[in-house]
Amino acid sequence: MIAHPYDALNRRLFKREFTMYAITGISGKVGGALARTLLSKGLPVRAIVRDPGKAQHWASQGCESALADMEDVAALTAAFRGADGVFILPPSNFDPSPGFPEARVVIDAVKAALEAARPRKVVCLSTIGAQASQSNLLTQRSLMEHTLSQLSMPVTFLRPGWFMENSAWDVASARDEGIVRSFL
């Protein structure tokens, strides 16, 4: 059988393996779970952290590490550079200033860094309610979604309603009082 000249190219394109996954928020539950899952499959992970001590922890787990604040375009660009996949877990701000200036600084920095580093794909943790048209605490995620959706690379937004781990907060009151307090 004669090989078609595009066969080798197609194999490279469709079987291309990711060379690096860069993860922000790796020190938390979601980012940490993602990193552990990727590492368990033998995939390379770059831990993006603010604290050098946390970088040492993730290095001991097999991660490459990068130090970056979410407002630092240059550090984020360096952390994202060379990554095929980037996971964005924006920091939470439960007492934002009017107009969300703190979130806007992070959003602009993340966008600029992604534009400069040009990863193949981006996944961003958002939240249920980010689609709301009325301004509220979740508008920070609406702004992130709107801005990152303008990037030229594919971006997937995850909108979880809740995380099962958060139910651990309710165990004591459920056990002791028979009440699970929820504001969902």
Number of domains in the chain: 1
- CB distance 122 to 153 below 8 Å: yes
Domain range for 30: 14-160
Residue 173 belongs to a domain: no
- Give the list of residues 6+ apart from residue 39 with CB closer than 8 angstroms, or none: 45, 61, 62, 63
What is the full DSSP assignment across 124-167? EE--TTTT-SS-STTHHHHHHHHHHTTSSS-EEEE--S--GGGG
pLDDT at 1: 46
Residue 86 belongs to a domain: yes
The 8-class DSSP code of residue 170 comes to G
Quick check: 182 pLDDT over 80? no
Residue 87 belongs to a domain: yes
Residue 132 belongs to a domain: yes
Supply the pTM of this predicted model: 0.84
CATH number at 111 reads 3.40.50.720
Residue 58 belongs to a domain: yes
Over residues 80-105, the pLDDT tens digits come to: 999 999 999 999 899 999 999 999 99
Which two structure tokens, joined as six digits, stand for 45?
Answer: 């992970």
Residue 117 belongs to a domain: yes
Structure-model confidence comparison of residues 25 and 16, the more confident one: 25
Question: Confidence band (pLDDT; 50, 70, 90) for 165?
Answer: confident
- Range of weakest confidence among 30-44, 95-109, 125-139, 143-157: 125-139
